[in-house]
A and B are shown apart, each in its own frame.
Chain A
Amino acid sequence: MTKRTNEQWLSELRTGGSRREAALADLRADILYGLPYALRDWLSPDAPQFSALAEEVTQETLMRVLDHLDSFEGRSQFTTWAHKIAVRVALTELRRRRWKDVSLESLTNSAEGDSSSQPIADTAPGPETVMEQADVLARVQKMMLEELTDKQLRAMMAVAIRGMPLEEAARRLGTERNALYKLLHDARLRLKRRLAREGLTPGELLAVFERG
């Protein structure tokens, strides 16, 4: 691949003709080179669906790159910026495929596979600790009920507790990933402020759970 500066990439992709075609071909090859590394934890390059996915992702990435050339700020290598777009396109599609049959409701219907249901402390807590934990649990549960909206509670359960990707939870809640993150941030802040009003710090709360 021809080595280019950021300015050369921009210039060649903005001009027509053979220089643009050559730049696009090089960028396409670079994106295709990176995808097996990016998707290593999701899909083997030997999997039958890999080639079609890589082709689809590369096409979509090239289109987005050309559409958003003006938003490239030059703070990274141009190819890093393009790879960032490819990663977003690819993982969005893979998350959609992986979670396509899972509803928010089904997440709250099944606790199976939730490895986090293991005991928190290494040793079984004593009776006093159990009572203290029960008291704190009841207080936190009451706070959640009083402070969070239904949407915040559903989102927190699906994303923070059950591990559904934000993107997928957002789709099911009829919102965007960015908006859902803000909604969850607001939920966490509400709980943090409520804890403070009740004279508790998150550290103290954690200490109660982790005490054996």
Chain B
Amino acid sequence: MRHWLDTVKRWLWPGKRAPTTPLPPHVLHKVARQIEMTHEVEYSCDDVLRLLDQFAEAVLRGEDVAELMPLVQRHLDMCPDCREEFEALLRILRASRASAT
């Protein structure tokens, strides 16, 4: 059986034809989950970077950031790059706080 990735490739490069091989369920499951989490208005990576220091400090203070900064929270739920950066920043802040006490 032709691999599903061949199907994708046939869509993407010259001589595209309608796909005949179905994409596997796990691929479309991921797509469906992302669609479910999609909102009309979402912050971009630059929007979030501008607020990330403020957001991380709010998390450190134990504030309800999902309530206070929902668009940042939503973006972090969707964007792995920004989430990694947020988690890395939070680790620094926690270490700094621990060393100061």
Interface residues of A (CB under 8 A from B): 30, 33-34, 37-41, 75-77, 79-81, 83-84, 87-88, 90-91, 95, 105, 108-111, 114, 116-118, 120, 133-134, 137-138, 140-141, 144-145, 150, 153-154, 156-157, 159-161, 163, 165-167, 177-178, 181-182, 185, 188-189, 191-192, 195, 202-203, 205-206, 209-210
Minimum CB–CB distance for B47 against chain A, Å: 9
Determine if B8 and A116 form an interchain contact, defined as CB atoms under 8 angstroms apart.
no
Minimum CB–CB distance for B57 against chain A, Å: 5
Task: Give B21-49 as 1s and 0s: 1 = Cβ < 8 Å from A's Cβ atoms.
Answer: 01111111111111110101010111001
Chain B residue total in the interface (Cβ 8 A): 50
Given A117-B24, A178-B45, CB of A141 within 8 Å of CB of B19: yes
Determine if A116 and B30 form an interchain contact, defined as CB atoms under 8 angstroms apart.
yes
Determine if A116 and B26 form an interchain contact, defined as CB atoms under 8 angstroms apart.
yes
In angstroms, Cα B95 to Cα A30, docked, is 11
Contacting residue for A178 out of B26, B27, B44, CB 8 A: B44
In angstroms, Cα B95 to Cα A84, docked, is 14
Minimum CB–CB distance for B96 against chain A, Å: 7
- Kindly list chain A residues whose C-beta atoms are within 8 Å of the C-beta of B45: 166, 177-178, 181
- Kindly list chain B residues whose C-beta atoms are within 8 Å of the C-beta of A105: 9
In angstroms, Cα B85 to Cα A166, docked, is 13
Determine if B31 and A191 form an interchain contact, defined as CB atoms under 8 angstroms apart.
yes
Asked if B81 is at the interface of the complex by the 8 Å CB criterion, the answer is yes
Beyond A108-B9, A153-B11, A161-B31, 14 additional pairs, beta carbon < 8 A: A38-B89, A75-B51, A75-B54, A79-B96, A110-B5, A116-B26, A116-B30, A160-B31, A166-B45, A178-B45, A185-B42, A188-B38, A202-B35, A210-B29
Determine if B31 and A84 form an interchain contact, defined as CB atoms under 8 angstroms apart.
no
Given A34-B92, A81-B53, A161-B30, CB of A209 within 8 Å of CB of B25: yes
Determine if A38 and B92 form an interchain contact, defined as CB atoms under 8 angstroms apart.
yes
Given A76-B54, A178-B46, CB of A91 within 8 Å of CB of B84: yes
